[in-house]
Amino acid sequence: MSIRQYLKEIGRGKDGARALNREQAADLMGQVLDGQVDDLALGAFCAAMRIKGETPDEMAGFLDATEARLQKLPNAGVPTVVLPSYNGARKLPVLTPLLGLLLAQRGVAVVVHGTPTEDARVSSADVLSALGHAPASQSSTALAAGQLVYVPTGQLHQGLQALLAARRVVGLRNSGHSLVKLMNPCTGPALVVGSYTHPEYATSMAATFALTGAHALLLRGTEGEPVADPRRRPRLLAVREGLTHERMPAQEGPLTHLPDLPAPDASATAAWTREVLDGRRAVPAPVAEQVECILRELDHHA
């Protein structure tokens, strides 16, 4: 079906729009990723879905189309954690690289994928570069235990990168920004650490993970990043075999201690991260607890 027919279904406003089924959503996203949609129709798609909101079935279909087209990283037999990093940091330092490198120190293969979507934010790519971690030269590199690999979204799929880049023209986040936080860019099983900014997304993301059979950990991330707030532990949910389980409750009560955090620029964050990795600074307790939760979740999956 042409995108024009799909737009008639999803573009009738918040109350009049009709949801697509999973197969229709996969067909629509496939056309978008394959570059079969002109700029005007792409903008209409982005705006319509932003107003309507995606259902779990639609997100599952979008993921079906995306994962069928990705240039995936081989990870057969290697315990792997996926950290989607697309929000970056503005007020707090971006600690996704710290989380990934702490996991790598514990023998886990870690994939951080992302692309800067806002010029005013510091990205994981900026911090990793300051730490001397260059992006992977190609997405077909086999993953190894104890290794962190940063993969720019464009290496996974150019059409997905183009969809994310539409934000700079349209001025709004679109369905691509949601699906990149849900996808597994590896050829084998991996634990995807998904993050949300508003509580209602925890339910829809968990439902999508369940529909696609994913193994995932969900939390309200720091400024949208998949890492625990270093000041207060968020609730940690696991999705496994279609069921959602609470792994850790949110920290309650007043804060009695605030960690000594760096300025949110890349060089200061990188220097601070290096000190934590070398043991010269303590890991913020919520991040340390998240690391242990992830390791236990990988053991459950083994």
Element of type H or E holding 151: strand 148-152
Tell me: do 106 and 239 sit in the same domain: yes
Counting the structural domains of the chain, the total is: 2
Give tens-digit pLDDT for 3-58: 888 898 898 877 788 999 999 999 999 999 999 999 899 888 988 998 888 999 99
CATH number for 247:
3.40.1030.10
pLDDT at position 169: 75
- pLDDT of 256 higher than 70: no
Tell me: do 159 and 264 sit in the same domain: yes
What does the DSSP assignment read for 101-137?
HHHHHTT-EEEEEE----TTSB-HHHHHHHTT-PPPS
Tell me: do 40 and 88 sit in the same domain: no
Those residues with Cβ within 8 angstroms of residue 166's Cβ, 6 or more apart along the chain or in another chain: 42, 43, 46, 174, 176
More confident residue, 129 or 12: 129
Tell me: do 251 and 209 sit in the same domain: yes
pLDDT at position 301: 61
- pLDDT of 141 higher than 80: no
Tell me: do 111 and 220 sit in the same domain: yes
CATH number for 61:
1.20.970.10
Those residues with Cβ within 8 angstroms of residue 112's Cβ, 6 or more apart along the chain or in another chain: 83, 84, 85, 96, 97, 100, 124, 128, 148, 149, 150, 151
Tell me: do 62 and 94 sit in the same domain: no
Mean pLDDT along residues 65-80: 92
Q: For residues 214 and 184, is the Cβ–Cβ distance under 8 A?
A: yes
pTM of this prediction?
0.94
Tell me: do 84 and 27 sit in the same domain: no
pLDDT at position 173: 83
Those residues with Cβ within 8 angstroms of residue 67's Cβ, 6 or more apart along the chain or in another chain: 183, 184
Sheet holding 236-240: strands in order across? 148-152, 109-114, 80-84, 191-196, 215-220, 236-240, 243-248
Q: Alpha carbon of 237 to those of 250, 290, 300: distances in Å?
A: 10, 11, 14
d(CA 287, CA 265): 19
What SS3 state is found at 278?
A: coil
d(CA 272, CA 93): 10
Q: How confident is the model at residue 237 (pLDDT cuts 50, 70, 90)?
A: very high
- pLDDT of 302 higher than 60: no
Is 42 a member of any domain? yes
d(CA 13, CA 141): 44
More confident residue, 128 or 301: 128
Average pLDDT, the chain: 91
**Bridge-based pairing state of the strands 236-240 and 148-152:** unpaired
d(CA 207, CA 239): 9
Alpha carbon 61 to chain centroid, angstroms: 17
pLDDT at position 138: 67
Cβ density class 242-251: b for 16+ within 10 Å, e for less = eebeebbeeb
Mean pLDDT along residues 215-229: 94
Query: Could you say which DSSP state residue 186 is in?
Result: B
Q: Which range of residues forms the domain containing residue 202?
A: 80-301
d(CA 271, CA 261): 11
Mean pLDDT along residues 257-286: 93
More confident residue, 96 or 120: 96
Tell me: do 19 and 155 sit in the same domain: no
pLDDT at position 140: 65
Query: Could you say which DSSP state residue 221 is in?
Result: -
Tell me: do 98 and 235 sit in the same domain: yes
